[in-house]
Copies of this chain bind each other. A is one copy, B any other.
Amino acid sequence: MIKVAVVGASGYTGVELLRLLLNHPEVTVTCVTANQNAGEEVATLFPSLAGRIDMVCTALDVATVAASADLVFTALPHQAAMAVIPGLLAAGCRVVDLSADYRLRDPKVYAAWYDTHTSPELLSEAVYGLPELYRAAIPAARLIANPGCYPTSVALALAPLLKGGWIDPATLIIDSKSGTSGAGRAAKVGSLYCEVNEGFKAYGVGNHRHTPEIEQTLSELAGQEVMVSFTPHLLPVNRGILSTCYASLKQETTTDALLQHYRSFYAGEAFVRICSAGELPNIAYVRGANYCDIGLVVDPRTGRVIVVSAIDNLVKGAAGQAIQNMNLLLGLPETRGLEVVSLFP
């Protein structure tokens, strides 16, 4: 059994990591840190885990974490992650970081959208952990930058189009909608039940921090600089991201032809499901599972293609993908511990 730690476990990503790790046959959780809840039973913090874990949350101490685990999941806010990850690496741990701190390759871009980076030397070493697109680099990595939830949904939706040169990247518009767990477990008025329920709004229009991460990946896929309009919205559901992507086609094609291209592109991928023509994804069908469902429509009237992707933001958009990366790091089958079927309804 491989020993793993979850650092910063008090949020929704933390409990989701634990849910999936507790069912993983090859690992054992040896350390759970949560500074605000240090000394508290994990099963008191998250009664959903009662009967499955008999551990107490500890305050974060790098040496203790490193001594207890071979592989560490960091589920801390950005800036907090970069404060501990260099120490964990120095102590010999491998790290899957779920924050944004090591996703952007250019420290100047990080500084422009977040803050000054305190370990920029690690940016070139960190591997962007989107296995369907960057699988080869993952097994040998020390530090995995686990992708953001929105960027995962967008990159998988658009990769086949950009790689194939099907669309004009300058026309890309991405309208995304996320469940509320994406806003975290912090006690904020804007996240209260009565503020979110029966409501719907856009936020971060033109300035959401996932924009440069999306553009970095899309640019690499396109082989040219790509700039997008990206608009996130807050959905009154617990889980799920649906991204609706628009782009002008460079040549005439059909829905069927593009679907066939997507099926080829993702052939052999366990976690990407391409919808049949006439069908489109629904976040209800990926709940709790590591899938990315993708559907599309070619609109001959406007010459555009509309691609829709759905993921569970806590699974393929965070904890599930982190475990997929862990499996690759450890040489395990990529689907190990992630065979869970979507929960519907």
Question: In the complex the two chains form, what is the Cα distance from A310 to B246 in whole Å?
Answer: 22
| Chain B: minimal CB distance from A91 (Å) | 30
Interface size classification for chain A:
35 or more
- Contact, CB under 8 Å: B283 / A199: yes
- Contact, CB under 8 Å: A306 / B194: no
- Contact, CB under 8 Å: A193 / B180: yes
- Contact, CB under 8 Å: A341 / B195: no
Contacts of A240 in B (CB 8 A): 198-200
Question: In the complex the two chains form, what is the Cα distance from A18 to B342 in whole Å?
Answer: 11
- Contact, CB under 8 Å: A340 / B340: yes
Question: In the complex the two chains form, what is the Cα distance from A23 to B152 in whole Å?
Answer: 26
Give A245-290 interface residues, CB cut-off 8 Å to B. 246, 270, 273, 275-276, 279-289
Question: In the complex the two chains form, what is the Cα distance from A268 to B282 in whole Å?
Answer: 40
Report copies per complex. Answer: 4
Give A100-121 interface residues, CB cut-off 8 Å to B. none
Question: In the complex the two chains form, what is the Cα distance from A239 to B236 in whole Å?
Answer: 12
- Contact, CB under 8 Å: A285 / B48: yes
- Contact, CB under 8 Å: B297 / A51: no
Digit string of A288-299 for contact with B (CB within 8 Å is 1, else 0)?
110101000111
Digit string of A154-177 for contact with B (CB within 8 Å is 1, else 0)?
000000000000000001010101
Task: Indicate whether A341 sits within 8 Å of B23 (C-beta atoms), given known contacts A201-B283, A246-B229.
Answer: yes
Which of B288, B297, B299 is in CB contact (< 8 Å) with A343?
B288
A330 close to chain B: CB less than 8 A: no
Question: In the complex the two chains form, what is the Cα distance from A308 to B202 in whole Å?
Answer: 8
A-B pairs with beta carbons under 8 Å apart, 14 shown:
A19-B342, A48-B342, A51-B270, A52-B341, A175-B246, A181-B194, A185-B194, A187-B187, A200-B240, A201-B284, A205-B299, A227-B302, A233-B244, A235-B236
Cβ-closest 3 pairs across A and B: A199-B284, A48-B344, A194-B345
